[in-house]
């Protein structure tokens, strides 16, 4: 019963961390892009594929859970290395899917050229398809690589901090 409560508590903290970060991210995106939340969601669906967003969200959720478990374990004076490793691998996974979708977008863009006759009547349509696929390619990299780097920094800095100083701060509390 204790393990189930620990998992549920960690899951609850992870969900809070994810939702709080999502709200802050949406607010920043809205102010930077000058768009409403619905317009940002429509733009993201158009630029990124749904599968990319689902994979990214799953990895971010897993990362949040690992971060919470690492903090809980270190705070209790226990070994949290397995949670550190899992979080590092999830951060690397974000970079991997970003680069995979970059190559996919480029491949799809090049694939639109194959088998199509290029002439004055078709060039506009072909360019539209190319830019759509290349947008997927480059935006997944633009988003994925910095997110991956930020996740690696967060997990490593948090771990070093927790190992080097007495922990009195809980996730969600203010110092």
Find the DSSP H helices in 76-171. 81-113, 123-164
Tens of pLDDT, residues 101-159: 999 888 888 887 776 777 777 778 778 777 877 887 888 999 999 999 999 999 999 99
Ranking 46-50, 67-71, 126-130, 165-169 by mean pLDDT, the lowest is 165-169
For residues 170 and 35, the model is more confident at: 35
Tens of pLDDT, residues 66-112: 999 999 999 888 899 999 999 999 999 999 999 999 998 888 888 87
What pLDDT is stored for residue 166 in this prediction? 63
What pLDDT is stored for residue 144 in this prediction? 93
pTM over 0.85: no
Ranking 23-27, 56-60, 142-146, 167-171 by mean pLDDT, the lowest is 167-171
Span between the terminal Cα atoms of the chain, in Å: 32
What pLDDT is stored for residue 175 in this prediction? 47
Closest CA to 60 of 100, 89, 11, 94: 94
Contact call for residues 169 and 175 (beta carbons, < 8 A): yes
């Amino acid at each position: 019963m204790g393990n189930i409560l620990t998992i549920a508590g960690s899951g609850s903290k992870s969900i809070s961390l994810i939702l709080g970060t999502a709200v802050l991210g949406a607010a920043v995106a809205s102010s930077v892009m000058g768009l409403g939340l619905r317009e940002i969601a429509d733009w993201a669906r158009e630029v990124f594929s749904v599968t990319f967003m689902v994979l990214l969200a799953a990895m971010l959720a897993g990362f949040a859970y690992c971060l919470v478990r690492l903090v809980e374990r270190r705070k209790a004076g226990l070994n949290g290395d397995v949670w550190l490793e899992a979080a590092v691998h999830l951060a690397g996974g974000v970079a991997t899917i970003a680069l995979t979708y970059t190559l996919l977008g480029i491949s799809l863009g090049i694939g639109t050229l194959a088998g199509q006759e290029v002439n004055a009547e078709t060039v506009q349509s072909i360019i539209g398809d190319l830019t759509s696929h290349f947008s997927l390619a480059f935006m997944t990299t633009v988003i994925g690589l910095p997110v991956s780097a930020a996740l690696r920094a967060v997990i490593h800095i948090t771990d070093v901090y927790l190992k080097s100083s007495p922990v009195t701060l809980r996730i969600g509390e203010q110092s």
